[in-house]
């Protein structure tokens, strides 16, 4: 089953994300999507609305024991369908750019990211190759 989490379920996502950069979900700004198997979350994706209105996709994560079963595709598909009214931006892990391209994400210059999203990677000082991430955008629409 794939669905958007209710805000009271966000602690379940936080528990799965604990080993993934210590991410947490904020009901005031986030939409979180999950794949469930056997009653447990096996894959997650988050879409965060920044103060300027831009939408950032991040937190796409499948614990290692559940990888290779297509769960990430399912959760990204659910997020894209639910959030299709907005342009979506991300810093994609380089090795996963082909996955995101399946959903209409295209590589863009870092300068084309909205400032609140771009600011998250100021530590990379423009060295996206060294950070092993690629800025991407998906235009609104289905």
pLDDT in tens, 123-142: 555 554 556 889 999 999 98
The string of DSSP codes covering 50-96 is -TTS-EEEEEEE--GGGTTSSHHHHHHHHHHHHTTTS-EEEEEEGGG
The total number of structural domains in the chain stands at: 1
DSSP structure class, residue 105:
-
Where in the sequence is the domain holding 52, given as residue range(s)?
2-138
pTM: 0.91
- What are 17-61's pLDDT values in tens digits? 997 888 899 999 999 999 999 999 999 999 999 999 999 999 999
């Amino acid at each position: 089953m794939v669905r958007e989490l209710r805000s009271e379920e966000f602690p379940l996502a936080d528990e799965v994300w604990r080993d993934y950069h210590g991410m947490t979900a904020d009901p005031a700004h986030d939409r979180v999507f999950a794949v469930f198997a056997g009653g447990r979350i096996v894959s997650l994706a988050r879409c965060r609305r920044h103060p300027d209105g831009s939408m950032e996709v991040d937190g796409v994560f499948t614990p290692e024991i559940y990888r290779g079963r297509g769960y990430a595709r399912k959760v990204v598909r659910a997020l894209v369908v639910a959030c299709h009214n907005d342009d979506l931006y991300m810093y994609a892990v380089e090795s996963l750019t082909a996955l995101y391209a399946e959903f209409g994400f295209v590589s863009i210059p870092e300068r084309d990211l909205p400032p609140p999203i771009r600011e998250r990677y100021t530590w990379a000082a423009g060295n996206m190759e060294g950070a092993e991430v690629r800025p991407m955008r998906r235009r609104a629409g289905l």
